[in-house]
Amino acid sequence: MIMESTTNLDFKKTRAMNWLVAIILLIGFSLLALKASSAIGLLFFGLVMLVFIVPFVISAIVLSDDDFYLFGASLTLSATKRDFLRKVAWYGNWVIFVFSVLGIVMSLVTQQSMVIISFLIYAFPSLINLIAFKKLRNSLLK
């Protein structure tokens, strides 16, 4: 028996983008963590790393109607947990998007045009996630 998804939307490309961004950020943060000179600095750096990576990972998980696979084990999210994680991902992506836009504005004000590229790396995936969550919410409300 084939189970149909609850929505007609397919977010495969968005989920793949989220996993790619999360992996790239994890590699970059890991390489920078090697330069940490103290344990407190490393803990603070790890917290900052989680703030930037977790919204992309959660977005990749909740944009799927299927089960989530963690190291080959199938994990099923209940509807309430999935709704809660959608809210967490929604607000996390908003935070990243707002700080990215603020960074773009500040770099334009200070006339540092090349810095905009680094902020766009965070702004575009967050904006794409916000659009996908809006489409998903609209399809679930119908």
Residue of 10 and 47 predicted with greater confidence: 47
Whether 3 is covered by a domain: the verdict is: no
Q: Answer yes or no: is pLDDT of 133 > 60.
A: yes
57-84 average pLDDT score: 81
| 130: alpha, beta or left? (left if phi > 0; alpha if psi -120 to 50) | alpha
Q: Answer yes or no: is pLDDT of 124 > 50.
A: yes
pLDDT band at 104 (very low <50, low <70, confident <90, very high): very high
Q: Answer yes or no: is pLDDT of 67 > 80.
A: no
Q: How many domains does the chain contain in total? A: 1
pTM of the model: 0.82
Which domain, by its residues, includes 76?
A: 12-141
Whether 7 is covered by a domain: the verdict is: no
Whether 2 is covered by a domain: the verdict is: no
Q: Nearest 5°: phi and psi at 70? A: -120, 110
Distance of CA 37 to the CA centre of its chain: 28
Whether 6 is covered by a domain: the verdict is: no
Whether 85 is covered by a domain: the verdict is: yes
Whether 17 is covered by a domain: the verdict is: yes
Whether 4 is covered by a domain: the verdict is: no
Cα distances from 136 to residues 9, 49, 65, 105, in angstroms, run 7, 27, 11, 30
Whether 5 is covered by a domain: the verdict is: no
Q: How many CB atoms lie within 10 A of CB 23?
A: 13
Cα distances from 137 to residues 9, 17, 95, 104, 134, in angstroms, run 11, 20, 19, 29, 5
Q: Say which residues have a Cβ less than 8 Å from residue 54's Cβ, sequence separation at least 6.
A: 92
**Alpha-carbon distance 65 to 18, whole Å?**
16
Q: Answer yes or no: is pLDDT of 91 > 80.
A: yes
- Summarize pLDDT for 17-66 with one digit per residue, the tens: 999 999 999 998 888 888 878 888 888 888 888 888 999 999 988 888 77
